[in-house]
Amino acid sequence: MINVRKLQRINLVTSDLSTDAESSLASKYIQEYMEGLELGSGLPVTDLQPADDLAILAGHAFVSLWTMTKEETYLYNAAVMLEHALTKSRMSFQIRLLLVRIYRLLGRFPYHFDILGCSPMRMQALHLWLWNTTVPLT
pLDDT tens readout for residues 12-21: 888 888 999 9
Given a cut of 70, whether residue 35 has pLDDT beyond it is yes
Predicted pLDDT at 29: 97
Predicted pLDDT at 137: 54
**Of 135 and 25, more confident:** 25
Predicted pLDDT at 40: 87
Cα-only R_g, the chain: 15
Given a cut of 70, whether residue 106 has pLDDT beyond it is yes
